[in-house]
């Protein structure tokens, strides 16, 4: 089964996302930045990436092109998953398929995942 990769420097977010997506029966894996995300992508089958913009020392939009170069992530949809609603246009220009603002409604998260997850 393909996993959802959550790239966020807040570990509690993965638990919250996992809980929200539990009714869909999908797995969630967490990476805190570029290097850990690339490592996860080498080890897991990823069907969707939820990418935060504020990753401590890294900017999600700046690492997006490098993530897309990874062989296992080239065809995977990316969803911006961030509290920075002002960067919505930048996110779509960068190639994300959807934008989920935080805080988020669990129903919106599930709908977005159902729509874009590559199974």
Tens of pLDDT, residues 94-105: 999 999 998 899
We find that the CATH architecture of domain 3-116 is 3-Layer(aba) Sandwich (3.40)
- Show me where the domains of the chain are located: 3-116
Output the CA angle 63-14-78, nearest 5 degrees: 40
Predicted local distance difference test score (pLDDT) of residue 1: 74
115 has a pLDDT exceeding 90: yes
> Whole-angstrom Cα distance, residue 115 to residue 11?
25
pLDDT at 13 over 90: no
Would you say residue 20 has pLDDT above 80? Answer: yes
Round to whole Å and give the CA distance between 38 and 72: 9
Bridging pattern class, strands 3-7 and 46-51: parallel
Counting Cβ atoms within 10 Å, is residue 91 exposed (0-12), middle (13-18) or buried (19+)? buried
């Amino acid at each position: 089964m393909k996993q959802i990769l959550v790239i966020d420097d807040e570990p509690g977010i993965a638990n919250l996302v996992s809980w929200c997506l539990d009714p869909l029966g999908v797995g969630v894996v967490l990476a805190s930045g570029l290097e850990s995300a690339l490592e996860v992508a080498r080890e897991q089958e990823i069907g969707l990436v939820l990418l935060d913009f504020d990753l401590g020392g890294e900017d999600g939009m700046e690492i997006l092109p490098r993530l897309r170069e990874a062989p296992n992530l080239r065809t995977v949809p990316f969803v911006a998953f961030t509290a920075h609603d002002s960067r919505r246009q930048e996110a779509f220009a960068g190639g994300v398929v959807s934008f989920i603002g935080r805080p988020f409604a669990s129903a919106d998260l599930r709908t977005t995942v159902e729509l874009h997850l590559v199974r």
